[in-house]
Amino acid sequence: MRFDVVSIFPESLEGLLSIGVLGQARAAGMIDVRLHDLRDFTDDPHRIVDDRPYGGGAGMVMKVEPFVRAIESIQADVDTPSRVVFLSSQGKLFQHGDAIGWAGETGLILLCGRYEGVDERILEYVDEEVAIGDYVLAGGEVAAAVVVEAVSRLTPGVVGKFESVATDSFFEEGKLGAPQYTRPPEFRGAAVPEILLSGDHEKIEAFRKQAAWRKTIRNRPDLLGMDPSATGENHG
């Protein structure tokens, strides 16, 4: 699978996308991550990517032409057209289901805005406008890294044991994963649940299932179709 990220700060993503399972998958050629400088797709000597907003107002707006040229140049370089994703504070929320669906694509083109955002006419050239949460970031780079990480770890082979992906949060029945513990068995009076030390795999499985449900009800009742205000607590 190929990821093409278009940004005015492409170098900002290199470190993050070169570590851990992602770095290993890139080194092994399982995923191909390419970072593009949006300014390479300008056609003026000053490599300008922004301009003042029509109708007035504060700040600068990113021009549509460099993004469209970048998309066209990348699409010309791939055999099957990549899905074009615009990271935007005004997009639909990016969720687990999207990550699963996109992991089946041959490629994703990720467009990162900055400043006050991108000229709205970009929407004619994108398949998806997505936000990673209900807050405004300074730019789309962090959001693009979120999408690349979430999608690539669902790409077969990227995480060595698929079991570790399949028992993660959101996977089974849409609930959270079970809480995890490691040594020591007791830390400052807090003991690891005894069942986990018992070696009884059936009981451990049952305990984990129940703990996962409990945690989901406490932190994310919305995932179970429950009214979030109904549980009344969000701490501890």
Name the site residues for ligand SAH (rule: CB under 6 A). 87-90, 112-114, 116-118, 131-133, 135-137, 139-140, 143
Q: Of 93 and 226, which has the nearer Cβ to ligand SAH?
A: 93
The pair of three-digit structure tokens given for residue 225, joined into one six-digit string? 């179709």
Burial class (CB within 10 angstroms; exposed 0-12, middle 13-18, buried 19+) of 54: exposed
Q: Which amino acid is at 232?
A: G
Q: What is the DSSP string of 207-227?
A: HHHHHHHHHHHHH-GGGGT--
Least gap, CB of 57 to ligand SAH (angstroms): 10
154 to each of 25, 26, 37, 142, 157, how far by Cα in Å? Answer: 12, 14, 27, 19, 8
Q: Of 137 and 217, which has the nearer Cβ to ligand SAH?
A: 137
Q: Of 143 and 154, which has the nearer Cβ to ligand SAH?
A: 143
- Please check whether residue 42 is in contact with residue 49, taking contact to mean a CB–CB distance below 8 angstroms: yes
Q: Of 71 and 143, which has the nearer Cβ to ligand SAH?
A: 143
Q: Which amino acid is at 229?
A: S
Least gap, CB of 192 to ligand SAH (angstroms): 37
Least gap, CB of 183 to ligand SAH (angstroms): 38
H-only helix segments in 132-175: 141-152, 162-166
Residues 6+ apart with CB under 8 A from 233: 218
Least gap, CB of 83 to ligand SAH (angstroms): 16
Least gap, CB of 17 to ligand SAH (angstroms): 17
Q: Of 5 and 131, which has the nearer Cβ to ligand SAH?
A: 131
Q: Of 98 and 116, which has the nearer Cβ to ligand SAH?
A: 116
Residue of closest CB approach to ligand SAH: 113
HEC string of 52-110 equals CCCCCCCCCEECHHHHHHHHHHHHCCCCCCCEEEEEEEEEEECCHHHHHHHCCCCEEEE
Least gap, CB of 62 to ligand SAH (angstroms): 7
